A = this chain, B = another copy of it.
Amino acid sequence: FDEDELNQLLTRLTELEPSELALALESMPLEQRLNCWLGLAAEDQVSALTHMRVDARENIFKQLDDQQLRTLVEEMEVDDLLELLEELPPRLYDYACSRLDASQRRWLEIALTYDEDQCGRYADHDLLILNKNARVRDAIRLFQSLPEDAEYQETLFVIDRTGRYAGQVSASRLLGRGSHLPIESFIDDEAPVVDGQLDLDQGSDMVSRSGYTALAVVSAEGKLLGRLSIGEALENVRRSLESQFMHTAGLDEEEDLFAPVFISAKRRAVWLGINLLTAFLAAWTIGLFEATLQEVVALAVLMPIVASMGGIAGSQTLTLMIRGLALEQITEQTYVALLRKEIGVAALNGLLWSIVIAVITFFWFGSWLIGGIIGVAIIINIIIAAICGVFIPRWLDKLEIDPALSGSVILTTVTDVVGFFAFLGLGSLFLLA
């Protein structure tokens, strides 16, 4: 990787939008990533970092010395600082604050009174604000002062003298209006408002469904805290769905593609350990039937089929439930109808596949008895799997545990134990001499 190549790469990188630049940096191995990042202009360095995943961003921060961090901090505005606060070494926090002007420091203080998952914490402070007694000409001046690369700034926010939010006005409503008219008369009464204490995911959903390009985020006292734009809403929706997907494998959405081997291994070890416990539970269940297995070795050969069919059927129900819960589609009333439907599906598929498996087993081991036993065990396991697939995520959701993360481990434990127990139990009952 010589200097020429690096320069060519840098030229291409600087042409990208910030979110694309961040993605491109994340897709490089650590050393190359750091070299490219160091070659960027200070302004691009900050915007790349704010758009990167936490882990990827941390892997850059760790490589910087205090002098580099200071230079970086000098480029940060209040929103950058809020986004990067976690990764910034605490000793630099005061320095970073001292570089902000008074109004930005005030925004920072207010934002920090909110939790990390609340809209008030991540409200964007780069917004057009006008006083209630302003006129159309002031609004026009404000819109004309926007930089060329302003994003989703088609709306200005109106406050009263005490900083309380009074409404939003979109640029298109002001077109062709007399410049002396009060801005107040163009406020859009329909525009909803995001409560600063609202969960960031819910706030993002609200913005994305509202049809507005940005909504005001407002404190309990009615003060304007900032805005939540459709661009940020989209990033949050993306992050939240990506995390649902990553959680199914016990991973975090912040996981860096090129995390250092040791760190990555340490994190994943936890997930493997949890799964090992469930595997031992399954093994222990099998261990209960050692005598049976010794006598009828066909049971040992066939037993993974029972566990696997239950696991697959259950995970289908589980996945449907997780989506339904995330979309807030599962209510007390619909829940029973859903359970009934899933049991119906399980009974039909259980019946179908248990017959198929019983027939194959007969041809393989020449015993209708073993075929019948595996068939019954499979029906039992698939139906239990469907019931658990509905109950487990609901129960986890009530306990405020993410069903996408823990649902499948618990479900697999149940389907393994039930599957082995039903199959080997029936085998012991009917096959032991």
Q: List A residues 112-150 near B (Cβ within 8 Å).
A: 137, 139-141, 143-144, 146, 148-149
A357 vs B276: C-alpha distance when bound (angstroms): 9
Q: A258-B341, A300-B293 are in contact. Are A151 and B329 (CB under 8 A)?
A: no
- Of the 9-residue stretches A61-69, A75-83, A101-109, A237-245, which lies at the interface with chain B? A237-245
A334 to chain B, nearest CB (A): 6
Q: A245-B248, A257-B324, A261-B344 are in contact. Are A279 and B297 (CB under 8 A)?
A: no
Interface status of A432 (Cβ within 8 A of chain B): no
A304-B286 in contact (CB<8A):
yes
Q: Could you give, for residues 380-409 of chain A, a 1 whenever the CB lies within 8 Å of some chain B CB and a 0 otherwise?
A: 000000000000000000000000000000
B338-A211 in contact (CB<8A):
no
Interface status of A47 (Cβ within 8 A of chain B): no
A396 to chain B, nearest CB (A): 17
Nearest chain B residue, comparing its CB with the CB of A364: B287
A126 vs B139: C-alpha distance when bound (angstroms): 28
Interface status of A183 (Cβ within 8 A of chain B): no
Interface status of A308 (Cβ within 8 A of chain B): yes
A230 vs B212: C-alpha distance when bound (angstroms): 10
A246-B154 in contact (CB<8A):
no
A268-B300 in contact (CB<8A):
no
Query: Count of chain A residues with Cβ under 8 Å from any Cβ of B?
Result: 114
Interface status of A272 (Cβ within 8 A of chain B): yes
Interface status of A40 (Cβ within 8 A of chain B): no
The residue from B17, B230, B242, B341 contacting A210, defined by CB atoms under 8 A apart: B17
Interface-central residue, A137, A301, A318, A334, by most chain B CB under 10 Å: A301
A contact face: mostly helix, strand, loop, or mixed? helix
A152 vs B261: C-alpha distance when bound (angstroms): 45
The residue from B28, B255, B273, B305 contacting A320, defined by CB atoms under 8 A apart: B255
Q: Could you give, for residues 182-216 of chain A, a 1 whenever the CB lies within 8 Å of some chain B CB and a 0 otherwise?
A: 00000000100000000000000000111101000
A251-B319 in contact (CB<8A):
yes
B272-A312 in contact (CB<8A):
yes
Interface-central residue, A172, A257, A271, A304, by most chain B CB under 10 Å: A172
- Of the 9-residue stretches A91-99, A159-167, A220-228, A347-355, which lies at the interface with chain B? A347-355
Nearest chain B residue, comparing its CB with the CB of A149: B211
Interface status of A316 (Cβ within 8 A of chain B): yes
Interface status of A90 (Cβ within 8 A of chain B): no
Question: How many copies of this protein are present in the complex?
Answer: 2
A259 to chain B, nearest CB (A): 8
A423 vs B274: C-alpha distance when bound (angstroms): 21
The residue from B19, B237, B265 contacting A348, defined by CB atoms under 8 A apart: B265
B213-A334 in contact (CB<8A):
no
* Residues of B contacting A261 in the complex (Cβ-Cβ under 8 angstroms): 341, 344-345, 348
B279-A23 in contact (CB<8A):
no
Nearest chain B residue, comparing its CB with the CB of A365: B287
The residue from B179, B273, B283, B315 contacting A301, defined by CB atoms under 8 A apart: B283
* Residues of B contacting A7 in the complex (Cβ-Cβ under 8 angstroms): none
The residue from B153, B176, B327, B345 contacting A172, defined by CB atoms under 8 A apart: B153
A305-B283 in contact (CB<8A):
yes
Report A's interface with B, CB cutoff 8 A: 17, 19-20, 23, 26-29, 137, 139-141, 143-144, 146, 148-149, 151-154, 170-172, 174-176, 179, 190, 208-211, 213, 230-231, 233-234, 237-238, 241-242, 244-246, 248-251, 255, 257-259, 261-262, 264-265, 268-269, 271-273, 275-276, 278-280, 282-283, 286-287, 290, 293-294, 297-298, 300-305, 307-309, 312-313, 315-316, 318-320, 322-324, 327-331, 334, 337-338, 341, 344-345, 348-349, 352-353, 356-357, 360, 416
What are 19 A-to-B residue pairs whose CB atoms are below 8 Å? A139-B175, A144-B175, A146-B172, A170-B171, A213-B230, A230-B234, A234-B234, A238-B241, A241-B241, A241-B242, A248-B248, A251-B320, A257-B324, A257-B334, A269-B349, A272-B309, A282-B305, A283-B302, A294-B297
